[in-house]
Structure 1
Amino acid sequence: MNFPKRQNFQVSEKPLIIVGSKNPVKVASTESAFTEAFHKGFVVNGITAASQVSDQPKGDEETYLGARNRVVNAKKTFPEADYWVGIEGGIGEDAAGMYAFAWIYIENKSGLHGKAKTGTFYLPEAIAKLVHDGMELGAADDAFFAQENSKQNGGSVGILTHGVLTRQTYYNQAIILALIPFLNEALY
């Protein structure tokens, strides 16, 4: 298998961002959020970086750890980047039912880091049952809604909002929130 040479990742003087996932939604939302926040362009590439958590993280602690681990592992692979981004989707449960969310963790080459969590939304009982039966949320959505690879498209949030929110727009706001320390370095 031929892998791209490292020098091909940074083809300009633009800062290099490595996303700890090849999921096109995570890469696109990272590029969009960084561009919005900093009003300039970036070179953004996704790589496979292990989350070292279960395929379907449960709760804040495991989901946050997955996002952070993606950054740690992406840094090992591409230490020459300017920023590393980890995005990990998870589920939680409370008295009202099962809900979905994601954690974002970002670090730059000087070691400054930022983190944020998306908003949460509750899942239909039928989806929650499939997850309880051992399915990952994306697979449960695909099975129930007769979709294919929905987690690399609109995801649960896109399906359930009928496209009003996409997975990309859902992540975008949380990535910008995780960039607050980088936008205000003197305060952090």
Structure 2
Amino acid sequence: MPIKVIIASKNPVKIDATKASFQRKFPEHSFEFEGVSVPSDVNDQPMTHKETQEGAQNRANNAKIKYPEADFWVGIEGGVHDDEFGMQAFAWVVVLSKSISNQAQTAVFYLPEAIAKLVRSGIELGEADDIYFGRTNSKQKDGAVGILTNGEIDRKAYYEHAMIMALIPFTLKVLSN
């Protein structure tokens, strides 16, 4: 019977990153993945590290409440944070099982000031990218990290690194829940 993983997002990039990470870490297992829509209970554009982590945690928890029959629940939340150097962009990943919870953060990068100004004005980062670069729906494609690195770091790989780090205690337990 496949191991059921609920991803607290309908975003294809987040779903693909979760699939790739679980399959890479546990190649001997078969999985069933499902992307679902659940609330983050934070602002649409989290503006601090704390709010972003809370959003990922809330998504995973809300998915677990709504879909208790699964084996794993994953929350991924992108956010920004202003510091003395400018506006950072990053994401938090939370992975839950019936008995373990862990989290990890992606790498942090700084946004160009023109995009940061749009975000500070109340526009979500994905929409700010679309406005600035003249694109559509970039948050379900390469996102800010892909655009700003000219595709050298795509959004899927960006999330995968954090997902694999969040899976560390699960690899130690070898899915024995």
TM range (shorter): over 0.9
Give the corresponding residue for 1:174: 162
Amino acid at match of 1:102: A
Give the corresponding residue for 1:71: 60
Q: Distance in 2 between matches of 1:98 and 1:62?
A: 15
Amino acid at match of 1:35: Q
Map residues 1-188 of structure 1 onto 2, 5 A cutoff.
13-39=1-27, 40-109=29-98, 111-185=99-173
Q: For structure 2, which runs of at least 5 residues remain unmatched after alignment?
A: none
Q: How many residues are aligned here? A: 173
Compute the displacement of 1:59 (Å): 1.3
Q: For structure 1, which runs of at least 5 residues remain unmatched after alignment?
A: 1-12
Q: Structure 1: which 4+ aligned runs deviate by more than 4 Å? A: none
Q: Distance in 2 between matches of 1:146 and 1:166?
A: 19
CA RMSD after TM alignment: 1.0
Please list the CA deviations of residues 58-103 of structure 1 after superposition, one character each: whole Å capped at 9, or x if unmatched: 1111101000100111012110001000000000111110010000
Deviates more, 1:32-41 or 1:50-59: 32-41
**SS at structure 2 position matched to 1:91:** strand
Q: Distance in 2 between matches of 1:169 and 1:124?
A: 21
Amino acid at match of 2:37: T
Amino acid at match of 1:47: V
TM-score scaled by length of structure 1: 0.90
Compute the displacement of 1:185 (Å): 2.9
Q: Percent identity?
A: 50
TM-score scaled by length of structure 2: 0.95
**SS at structure 2 position matched to 1:184:** helix
Q: Distance in 2 between matches of 1:158 and 1:127?
A: 14
